[in-house]
Amino acid sequence: MDRPLNPSQKSPLLIAGGVCAVLLAVGLFVPMAAGDPTALDPYLLRMTIAAALATAVLRIVDRKRLWIPGALATVIIGSATLWLWLMDALPSLHPRVLHDPDVAFTLGILGQCVATGGGLLLLGRIAPECRGWYGRLRRMSVPVLIASAGSIVLFTGVTFLLPASLLGRYAFVPGALGSMPAVLLAGDALQGMVQEVQFRGVLLSWLEGVARPWQANLIQACFFGLAHIAIVFYAGPGVPLIPLAILLGYAAGWLTQKTGSLWPALLLHAFIDIWISLVIVPGLYGMG
């Protein structure tokens, strides 16, 4: 456990925190201020660079508990940047095979999975305190499967009870249930699962080492919700998505803590992302 900071240590920490805040603010707001409101790829690229620079600054200060979140942010944002780049680059590499956007999307997600896995393994070697989620990933049992199934059933029921407009859609489109290609649904499932490893896996596990369980869960849920802020900035479904994402992030974290396993959250998030493609997206803005 870290010792209390003496006055000589506080000054560089404050400087480092200020530098990181400026870097993140620049990465977040400069794309919009420069009249580039739809360039999601440069937005993520700038955020990746900002997170990497913030990590480097904090590492120089040599306070592990400060640079570890920066390193994790670099992995999360950097893997998303790689995913978007692959979706654009793959069709040009083999147009006849990879011209289908659903295939490019799924292969991009696979690249994101590989980048996330490699980054987290490297982080685990450098910072052993980031390995706590390994045990949760290995834990699978009948009660865990029951909890997974129950959470999926509960989510489905709540989806139908909530007003459609709150979910950013105008209608439920039954015909969409059989219209989605399998490769797209596989990509959706993988995307949800890799986010669970990032947020309810490594981030929650690390936070539990520096905060109380409920505090750790609330913090990771807030970060998970804010990670969706680009959707609001770039004309997505709208502001209600952020509190819903925070709520879902908290529920997934609660499931992880109560079952001691990451699998209920993994399976629930995979189902949610598939459900969004099948039910929510086809009804966006009356598209159905």
pLDDT score, position 60: 77
> Taking the domains of the chain in order of start, what are their residue ranges?
139-288
User: Which of 245, 239, 233 lies closest to 276, judged by CA?
Assistant: 245
Supply angle C-alpha 280, 225, 125, rounded to 5.
120
Q: Residue 68, exposed/middle/buried by CB under 10 A (0-12, 13-18, 19+)?
A: buried
d(CA 105, CA 182): 12
Angle of the 241-259 helix axis to the 142-161 helix axis, nearest 10:
160
Per-residue pLDDT of the chain (288 residues; tens, 9 = 90+): 444 444 444 455 566 556 666 666 666 566 555 555 444 445 667 777 777 877 887 777 766 667 887 788 888 888 888 887 888 777 777 666 566 777 888 888 999 999 999 999 998 888 888 888 999 999 999 999 999 999 999 988 887 777 666 655 545 555 555 566 778 888 889 989 999 999 999 889 988 887 889 988 998 898 888 777 655 554 444 455 778 888 999 999 999 999 999 999 999 999 988 887 776 655 544 444
- Angular region, 114: left φ>0, alpha ψ -120 to 50, beta rest: alpha
Tallying the residues shown for the chain, one arrives at: 288
Residue carrying structure tokens 């640079």: 67
Q: Which residue has the tokens 């994402």?
A: 245
Q: What is the predicted pLDDT for the residue at 25?
A: 64
Alpha-carbon distance of 283 to 237, in angstroms, equals: 11
How far is the C-alpha of 273 from the C-alpha of 118, rounded, in Å? 23
Q: State the Cα–Cα distance between residues 149 and 3, nearest whole angstrom.
A: 44
In terms of DSSP H, where are the helices of the chain? 7-33, 40-61, 64-93, 95-98, 101-126, 133-138, 142-161, 182-196, 204-208, 213-226, 229-233, 241-259, 263-275
Q: Which residues of 159-173 are buried (b: 16+ CB within 10 A; e: fewer)?
A: beeeeeeebbbeebb
- The pLDDT assigned to 6 comes to 47
| pTM of the predicted model as reported, rounded to 2 decimal places | 0.78
Give the pLDDT score at 237: 47
For residue 288, the model assigns a pLDDT of: 43
Give residue 139's pLDDT: 92
Token pair for 195: 């986010």
Token pair belonging to 144: 């865990």
Q: Give SS3 for 52.
A: helix
